[in-house]
Amino acid sequence: MRMPPPRGTLSAWLAATLRRSPSPTRAAVPAPPAPGERPAAWEDEDLQLALWCCYELHYRGFEDVDEDWEWHPAVLALRGSLERRWLTSLRDLVGEHEAVPAEAVPGALRELTGQGGGPDLSGYLARKAGRDQFAEFIVHRSVYQLKEADPHSFGIPRLDGAVKAALVEIQADEYGGGRADRMHSELFRATMRWLELDDGYGRYVPSVPAVTLAVSNLMSLFALHRRWTGALLGHLAALEMTSTGPNRRYSTGARRLGAGAADRRYFDEHVEADAVHEQIAAHNMCGGYAADRPSAAADILFGAACCLALDDVLAGHLLGRWQAGQSSLRPLVDSRSAA
């Protein structure tokens, strides 16, 4: 993957900076621009793209960026200023969460994830979406699903005992139990190929709007800061606890549109696996973590609430655009042309 085309001053500064050599003997990197007055962070194209690129240095990186930029102070300074804005927006979006006793954490997660009432994207995909809309949905999802489970794996070295074992049990399934062809990211690739989409990592980053990048950036924010480990676990629990119903409907929609069993396996696998994962995540993982660290309960619920809220914003974006007869994607750009 190469650096995606910039969307404003922040991502343009980052693109220009990362194309230089990070060598300390070269001229000093100019200070990053201050974010200034901006829209809510999840709608901010420039901020989300810049943040996504900063985070990506810790995952697969970019072909056209020197690996030594990963921990460069200039990049971390930009990232820090973007994250402060990002966190303020997230707090505005979901509000404060009260700490609850550890034994009440699984119930509080169930209450949060059971609230419903958001835009019914999975129902629309099951019953009405055409093949082009279903493909758009998969394009949005590909930004995270092609590195599915990777952000939450950053939590593993930060945990001990039964809580660590619970997270590893979930992650082992996500990574196919040691079989590459069963990794969830690979099952997702099969669904992409059914829709004749390019299954290359990061291929559609230039095409997706801020909110889609925000869904990924939320996980990376929690993953890359040990201080947010509770939120990372709460986020994973919310994903697992809201997975079986929607994935059943995605599978129904895919079958209606002609997908064979292998093309739908990604969805069907989640219907089965996540019925188990949600129990492990709520009780053993989040309940256990809160028992070890009672002060983390509020973070766990904050992470879960952010996950659910951004999912609703993304679903609302897709349905709103489709109802208006428009595409939910940005106009197609060839990322190589901006390199």
Rounded to a whole number of angstroms, the minimum distance from the CB of residue 182 to Fe ion is: 11
Rounded to a whole number of angstroms, the minimum distance from the CB of residue 277 to Fe ion is: 4
Residue nearest to Fe ion (CB): 184
Rounded to a whole number of angstroms, the minimum distance from the CB of residue 162 to Fe ion is: 18
For residue 287, give the DSSP letter. Answer: I
Pick between residue 79 and residue 277 the one whose CB is nearest to Fe ion: 277
The CA–CA distances, whole Å, from 205 to 21, 67, 252, 280 equal 24, 20, 27, 32
Rounded to a whole number of angstroms, the minimum distance from the CB of residue 166 to Fe ion is: 12
Pick between residue 79 and residue 152 the one whose CB is nearest to Fe ion: 152
Pick between residue 90 and residue 159 the one whose CB is nearest to Fe ion: 159
Rounded to a whole number of angstroms, the minimum distance from the CB of residue 109 to Fe ion is: 15
Q: What angle do CA 35, 215, 114 make, to 5 degrees?
A: 130
Pick between residue 174 and residue 186 the one whose CB is nearest to Fe ion: 174
Q: How far apart are the first and last CA of the chain?
A: 11
d(CA 204, CA 143): 7
298 by DSSP, 3-state: which?
Answer: helix
CB of 200 within 8 A of CB of 318?
A: no
Pick between residue 136 and residue 274 the one whose CB is nearest to Fe ion: 274
CB of 303 within 8 A of CB of 231?
A: yes
- Residue 325 burial (10 A CB sphere; 0-12, 13-18, 19+): exposed
Q: How far is C-alpha 50 from the chain's CA centre?
A: 15
Interface residues with Fe ion (CB under 5 A) are 174, 184, 240, 274, 277
Pick between residue 51 and residue 238 the one whose CB is nearest to Fe ion: 238
Neighbours of 45 (CB within 10 A): 18
Rounded to a whole number of angstroms, the minimum distance from the CB of residue 278 to Fe ion is: 8
Helix axes 297-323, 131-145, angle to 10 degrees: 150
Conformation bin of residue 6: beta by default, left when phi > 0, alpha when psi is -120 to 50: beta
Rounded to a whole number of angstroms, the minimum distance from the CB of residue 45 to Fe ion is: 28
Pick between residue 206 and residue 287 the one whose CB is nearest to Fe ion: 287
